[in-house]
């Protein structure tokens, strides 16, 4: 089973042991999940350059894409390996109850009925398009001795879309939310967490 969680959609492909396509499906966020009111797979916030998604949209998309594979005749009970890829730099903030839910998922129920808003402390999770952390980038570069030092240490200057400044922004502007966050996942590890139940 291969999954790709891009900005606009979630794609899935089911291959057999000869690497032949058994089934494939996709869920386009704008058209298949209109209740989340995305445009190009994202929501624009009130602030300039603010872009986010609601994590539960991705959970519901996962339910839908797996169901579409089954409708095409895919037998998910035969899956021997899962591979995933996802957009870079997005971050998800798990609550304690969310992690408990992950560890106790019921295979007879849809994921989105179990992993709801209460699973996350940040309900508008920033994605790679977000550009609202300029102040945090400056602070982080100053903390290590300037932009050149940041490049020397990390190989890159601090970009607003990077996860580090996004986390710093939550820490600074929403300390209670940060304190109640049990785990922070990248979008790519988010899918792995669901499949692993942890």
Q: Can you tell me the distance from the alpha carbon of 181 to that of 96, in angstroms, rounded to the nearest whole number? A: 7
Q: Name all domains of the chain by residue range, CATH numbers in brackets.
A: 2-196 (3.30.420.40)
Q: Which helix (H) or strand (E) holds 28?
A: strand 21-28
Tens digit of each residue's pLDDT (9 = 90 or more) over 109-138 = 999 999 999 999 999 999 999 999 999 999
Helix (H, G, I), strand (E, B) or coil at 104: coil
The confidence score (pLDDT) of residue 11 equals 98
Q: How confident is the model at residue 188 (pLDDT cuts 50, 70, 90)?
A: confident
**pLDDT of 88 above 90:** no
**144-162: per-residue pLDDT in tens?**
999 999 999 999 999 999 9
What is the 3-state composition of the chain as percent helix, strand, coil, each rounded to the nearest 5? 45, 20, 35
Q: Rounded to an integer, what distance in angstroms lies between the CA atom of residue 106 and that of residue 45?
A: 34
Q: What pLDDT shows up at residue 60? A: 98
Record the tokens describing residue 48, joined without a space: 């300039």
The string of pLDDT tens digits covering residues 17-37 is: 999 999 999 999 999 999 999
| Mean pLDDT for the chain overall | 96
Tell me phi and psi for residue 93, to 5 degrees.
-115, 105
Residue that is written with structure tokens 């994605």 in the block: 127
Q: What is the mean pLDDT of residues 10-16?
A: 97
Q: How many CB atoms lie within 10 A of CB 120?
A: 23
| Residues contacting 25, CB < 8 A, separation 6+ | 11, 12, 65, 68, 69, 72
- What is residue 59's predicted lDDT score, i.e. its pLDDT? 98
| Ramachandran bin of 24, using left for φ above 0, alpha for ψ from -120 to 50, beta for the remaining angles | beta
């Amino acid at each position: 089973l291969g999954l790709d969680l891009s900005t606009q959609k979630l794609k899935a492909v089911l291959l057999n042991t000869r690497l032949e396509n058994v089934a494939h499906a996709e869920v386009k966020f704008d058209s298949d999940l209109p209740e989340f009111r995305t445009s190009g797979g994202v929501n624009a916030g009130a602030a300039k350059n603010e872009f986010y998604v609601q994590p539960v949209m991705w959970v519901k998309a996962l339910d839908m894409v797996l169901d579409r594979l089954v409708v095409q005749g895919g037998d998910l009970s035969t899956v021997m390996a899962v591979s995933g890829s996802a957009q870079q730099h997005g971050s998800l903030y798990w609550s304690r109850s969310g992690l408990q839910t992950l560890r106790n998922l019921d295979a007879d129920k849809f994921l989105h009925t179990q992993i709801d808003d209460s699973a996350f402390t940040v309900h508008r999770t920033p994605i790679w398009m977000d550009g609202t952390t300029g102040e945090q980038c400056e602070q982080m570069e100053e903390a290590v001795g300037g932009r050149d030092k940041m490049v020397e240490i990390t190989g890159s200057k601090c970009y607003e879309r990077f996860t580090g400044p996004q986390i710093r922004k939550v820490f600074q502007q929403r300390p209670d939310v940060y304190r109640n966050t049990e785990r922070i996942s990248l979008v790519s590890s988010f899918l792995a967490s669901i499949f692993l139940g942890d």
